[in-house]
């Protein structure tokens, strides 16, 4: 039997699951090991050893050991690095942070490190801490996450005739094709919604715009609705399912202004 190897890393809590009467299975997104699943013995019974560290989206410092790189980690110690108190005291921000975390969970395979994804979470949770909530923040997070995960939607030109996006043009987004088609190529069905070149260009900006400049971007009502429909439609197509935290976030944001 091989010996357990000990490691130290930092990671965001993605989710927890009760195990037996006293243990907790915790899934983290860690900087060095990517998605990491571990067991915290006694975490449900004794609050002393792991005092409130396993709240979703908390950033923690984790000490763990395991026998193999694909085995369940044994969490030896876990401490809070950032609890994001400013986010947690605001319902809307909490729901947005939970959506970010949920997406990171859905788009990351277990055991594959991706430091860019870790930085994306760090940057956007920090942005959410200090700035007012905006649709731009959510859409640009989605754009970046899709790009990092290899599902970058093709938005700079029509996927059929390759004509670059031009101002004033009308486009249709096809999740199956992974991108847009111009009005000349598209064969829209009755329920397909046309999107403007303005929406397409704004989303393209979101891929790599400096985070500090994002607060200067403001979406009109139309642009906001179009970009949400495109990106959420694409995300649920790629995942093959709806994202629950998106639904909750949308309901609360719509009815509790
Ligand atoms: Zn075309």
CA of 157 to the centre of ligand 1 (A): 8
What is the DSSP secondary structure assignment for residue 191, as one 8-state letter? T
- Rounded to the nearest angstrom, the distance between the alpha carbon of 165 and the centre of ligand 1 is 9
Q: Ligand 1 is a single-atom ion; what residues have CB below 5 A from it?
A: 158, 160-161, 182, 185
Report the candidate in 157, 151, 159 with the shortest Cα–Cα distance to residue 201. Answer: 157
- pTM for the full predicted model: 0.94
Could you tell me the CA-to-CA distances from 21 to 37, 46, 64, 160, 212 in Å, in that order? 19, 11, 21, 57, 46
CA of 174 to the centre of ligand 1 (A): 12
In this prediction, residues 18-39 reach a mean pLDDT of: 94
Question: β-strands 73-82, 34-40: how paired?
Answer: parallel
Measured between alpha carbons, how far is 169 from 183 in angstroms, rounded to an integer? 8
User: 65 C-alpha vs ligand 1 centroid, how far in Å?
Assistant: 54
Q: 191 C-alpha to center of ligand 1: Å?
A: 20
pLDDT in tens, 180-196: 999 999 998 888 888 99
Number of Cα atoms under 13 Å in the Cβ half of residue 196: 13
Please tell me the distance from the alpha carbon of residue 244 to that of residue 242, in angstroms, as a whole number. 6
pLDDT (tens digit per residue) in 192-232: 888 999 999 999 999 989 998 988 888 888 899 999 999 99
177 Cα to the center of ligand 1, angstroms: 12
The secondary structure element, H or E, covering residue 158 is: none
How is residue 90 written in tokens? 């605001």
Q: List domains and CATH numbers for the chain.
A: 5-83 (2.40.50.140), 91-252 (1.20.1440.120)
State residue 257's pLDDT score: 60
Q: What percent of the chain has pLDDT over 70?
A: 98
Question: How many Å apart are CA 107 and CA 117, to the nearest integer?
Answer: 10
What local confidence, expressed as pLDDT, does residue 45 receive?
A: 83
Reply yes or no on whether the pLDDT at 88 is more than 90: yes
């Amino acid at each position: 039997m091989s010996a357990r190897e000990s490691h130290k890393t930092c990671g965001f809590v993605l989710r927890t699951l009760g195990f037996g009467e006293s243990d907790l299975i915790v899934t983290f997104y860690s900087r060095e090991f990517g998605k990491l699943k571990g067991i915290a013995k006694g975490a449900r019974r004794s609050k002393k050893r792991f005092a409130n560290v396993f709240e979703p989206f908390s950033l923690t410092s984790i000490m763990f050991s395991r026998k193999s790189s694909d085995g369940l980690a044994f969490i030896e110690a876990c401490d809070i690095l950032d609890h994001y108190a400013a986010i947690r005291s605001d319902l809307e921000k909490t729901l947005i942070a939970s959506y970010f975390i949920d997406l990171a969970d859905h788009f990351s395979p277990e055991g594959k490190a991706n430091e860019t994804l870790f930085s994306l979470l760090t940057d956007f949770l920090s942005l959410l801490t200090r700035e007012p909530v905006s649709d731009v923040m959510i859409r640009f997070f989605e754009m970046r996450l899709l790009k990092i995960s290899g599902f970058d939607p093709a938005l700079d030109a029509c996927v059929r005739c390759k004509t670059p996006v031009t101002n004033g043009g009308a486009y249709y987004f096809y999740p199956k094709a992974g991108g847009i088609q111009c009005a000349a190529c598209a064969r829209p069905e009755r329920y397909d919604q046309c999107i403007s070149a303005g929406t397409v260009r704004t989303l393209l900006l979101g891929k790599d715009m400096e985070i500090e400049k994002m607060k200067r971007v403001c979406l009109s009502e139309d642009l906001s609705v179009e970009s949400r429909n495109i990106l959420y439609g694409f995300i649920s197509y790629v995942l093959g399912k709806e994202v629950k935290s998106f639904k909750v976030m949308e309901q609360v944001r719509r009815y509790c202004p």
